[in-house]
C-alpha cells in the first residue's frame, strides 16, 4: 500500500538508505552550496538530448515515409517488367520504328549502346522497351507508352531502383528506370542532344 506521507511519487525508485543519506548530507552544506549529486535526478527521457533525439527520429520517420511513397501504378509495372527482362538482349524492332516513340526523328541512332529494343505489354498497355548503356552513366531502361496513357511527371527511388517519368514533345509518357541515378541523367542528356541536333 502506498505511504500517504510520501509526497514524491518517484521517490520510491530510490532506496530508503539513499533517501536517509541524502537527508543527512544535505545538512552538511549551506543552502545553495550543496553539490548537484544530492538533488533529485531528472529522468533520462526528460533530458533535452533525449527529447531532441526522439524528435529527430520522428522527423526522419515522417520524412522517410514521404520519400518512400510508391510511384504510379504503371511505373511500378515498368520497374517490375525491367527487373524480369534485365538480362534479355536483342533487337526485335528497328531503330527507325522505335525512335519516333521517344519523340526523336526516325533517322537518329539509338542513344547509348542499345541492349534491348522491343514492344512489350505493361499492365495491359503497349510500351516500347529500350535498354541502353551509357559510358558515363550505366545501364538505363526507357519505356515509351502509346497515346492515351497518362502518368504524371515525377521521379524517385523505389524497390532499389531510380525512376523518372517525362513527357516527350508529343505528350506521351516516357518512363526511365535505372539502378544508378546518373544513368537516368545520362539518358536525359542524350535525349535532349538527339532532339537538338
- In this predicted structure, what is the pLDDT of residue 38? 60
Q: Is residue 4 part of a domain?
A: no
Question: Taking phi first (over 0 means left), then psi (-120 to 50 degrees means alpha), and beta for anything else, what does residue 128 get?
Answer: beta
Pair 85, 58 in one domain: no
* Domain count across the chain: 2
Chain Cα centroid distance, residue 180 = 13
Domain closes at, from 25, 49, 67: 67
Q: What is the DSSP letter of 101?
A: G
Dist. CA 173–CA 66, nearest whole Å: 24
Sign of CA dihedral 88, 194, 157, 170: negative
| Mean pLDDT for the chain overall | 83
**CA trace torsion 84, 97, 190, 83 (10° rounding):** 0
Percent of all residues in the chain with a pLDDT value above 70, rounded to a whole number: 81
CA distances from 59 to 48, 53, 62, 137, 173 (A): 16, 10, 5, 33, 34
- In this predicted structure, what is the pLDDT of residue 60? 73
pLDDT tens figures, 53-75: 787 887 777 655 555 578 999 99
pLDDT tens figures, 115-148: 999 999 999 999 999 999 999 899 999 999 987 7
pLDDT tens figures, 16-48: 888 787 777 767 767 667 666 666 666 666 677
With residues binned 3-state (H G I as helix, E B as strand, rest as coil), the percentages for the chain, rounded to 5, are 40, 25, 35
Q: Is residue 82 part of a domain?
A: yes
- In this predicted structure, what is the pLDDT of residue 130? 96
Pair 16, 112 in one domain: no
Residues 126, 146: contact at Cβ < 8 Å? yes
Dist. CA 66–CA 69, nearest whole Å: 6
Q: Is the pLDDT of residue 99 over 70?
A: yes
Continuous segment of H or E residues that includes residue 58: helix 48-67
Kindly report whether the global pTM for this prediction surpasses the value 0.75: no
Q: Is residue 45 part of a domain?
A: yes
Q: Is residue 53 part of a domain?
A: yes
Q: Is residue 3 part of a domain?
A: no
Which domain covers residue 82, as residue numbers?
A: 73-196
Q: Is residue 2 part of a domain?
A: no
Q: What is the DSSP letter of 23?
A: H
Residues 145, 72: contact at Cβ < 8 Å? no
Amino acid at each position: 500500500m502506498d505511504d500517504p506521507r510520501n509526497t514524491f511519487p518517484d521517490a520510491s525508485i530510490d532506496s530508503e538508505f539513499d533517501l536517509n543519506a541524502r537527508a543527512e548530507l544535505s545538512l552538511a552544506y549551506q543552502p545553495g552550496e550543496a553539490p548537484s549529486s544530492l538533488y533529485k535526478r531528472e529522468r533520462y527521457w526528460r533530458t533535452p538530448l533525449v527529447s531532441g533525439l526522439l524528435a529527430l527520429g520522428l522527423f526522419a520517420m515522417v520524412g522517410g515515409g514521404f520519400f518512400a511513397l510508391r510511384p504510379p501504378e504503371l511505373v511500378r509495372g515498368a520497374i517490375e517488367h525491367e527487373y524480369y527482362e534485365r538480362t534479355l538482349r536483342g533487337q526485335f524492332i528497328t531503330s527507325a520504328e522505335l525512335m519516333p516513340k521517344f519523340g526523336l526523328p526516325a533517322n537518329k541512332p539509338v542513344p547509348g549502346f542499345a541492349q534491348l529494343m522491343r514492344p512489350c505489354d505493361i499492365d495491359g498497355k503497349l510500351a516500347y522497351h529500350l535498354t541502353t548503356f551509357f559510358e558515363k552513366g550505366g545501364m538505363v531502361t526507357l519505356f515509351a507508352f502509346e497515346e492515351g496513357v497518362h502518368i504524371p511527371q515525377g521521379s524517385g527511388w523505389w524497390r532499389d531502383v531510380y525512376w523518372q517519368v517525362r513527357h516527350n514533345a508529343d505528350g506521351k509518357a516516357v518512363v526511365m528506370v535505372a539502378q544508378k541515378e546518373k544513368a537516368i541523367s545520362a539518358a536525359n542528356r542524350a535525349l535532349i542532344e538527339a532532339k537538338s541536333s
